[in-house]
Amino acid sequence: MNKKDLFNLAKEAMKNSYAPYSNYNVGAVLLCENGNIYKGCNVENASYSTTNCAERTALFSAVTNGEKDFEAICVVGGKNGEITDYAMPCGVCRQVLAEFCDADFKVYVGVSEDDIKEYKLCDLLPYSFDKSKLGD
Ligand code: THU
């Protein structure tokens, strides 16, 4: 599965985005090390703070299905479903990804099949707080 495939799957996931309050639609696709993929979209709520981002929807779905090892995520998004810029994962999603993913986990954000940026999770969340700090 290459990054263009991931981009197109993330766009598909974005179609199911439920975002009546922000009208900012997001789709994500998470690639597991075993090749399985899990899609997610943002799911908003009238009680705004309970909104779930697309990245966390995808991750929680994967974990629910027994996945533990992850290779990459691709995220797309835009106002009214129009992808005009890179949809960078929010801080909360970076932290949640860091619970399960290694420093070199890849984060793709794309505007088109030919315009996809790649980051490492450790560069998006440097000096992170993680389970290693909690000891045994
Ligand atoms: N959103 C995501 O789905 N992922 C992010 O990383 C950033 C924000 C969603 C949440 C909300 O539904 C909308 O985008 C506007 O914040």
Burial group, residue 32, by CB count within 10 angstroms (0-12, 13-18, 19+): middle
Note if the pTM is more than 0.95: yes
> With a 6 A CB cut-off, is 89 part of the ligand 1 pocket?
yes
Return the percentage of the chain with pLDDT > 70, whole number. Answer: 100
Pocket test for ligand 1, best of 17, 39, 44, 53 (most atoms within 8 A of CB): 53
State the pLDDT at residue 136.
83
For residue 88, the ligand 1 atom closest to its alpha carbon is 6
Separation between Cα atoms, residue 5 and residue 35, nearest integer Å: 12
For residue 41, the ligand 1 atom closest to its alpha carbon is 3
Separation between Cα atoms, residue 95 and residue 75, nearest integer Å: 16
For residue 54, the ligand 1 atom closest to its alpha carbon is 3
pLDDT at 60 over 90: yes
Ligand 1 centroid from CA 26, angstroms: 6
State the pLDDT at residue 101.
97
> With a 6 A CB cut-off, is 22 part of the ligand 1 pocket?
yes
Q: What is the pLDDT of residues 97-109, one digit of tens each?
A: 999 999 999 999 9
| Nearest to 22, CA basis, from 53, 67, 57 | 53
> With a 6 A CB cut-off, is 54 part of the ligand 1 pocket?
yes
One-letter amino acid of 30: L
CATH class of 3-134: alpha beta
Give residue 31's pLDDT band: very low, low, confident or very high (50, 70, 90). Answer: very high
> With a 6 A CB cut-off, is 97 part of the ligand 1 pocket?
no
Residue 110, C-beta contacts closer than 8 angstroms, at least 6 positions apart: 3, 7, 10, 74, 76, 83, 86, 116, 117
Residue 68, C-beta contacts closer than 8 angstroms, at least 6 positions apart: 100
Catalytic residues: 55
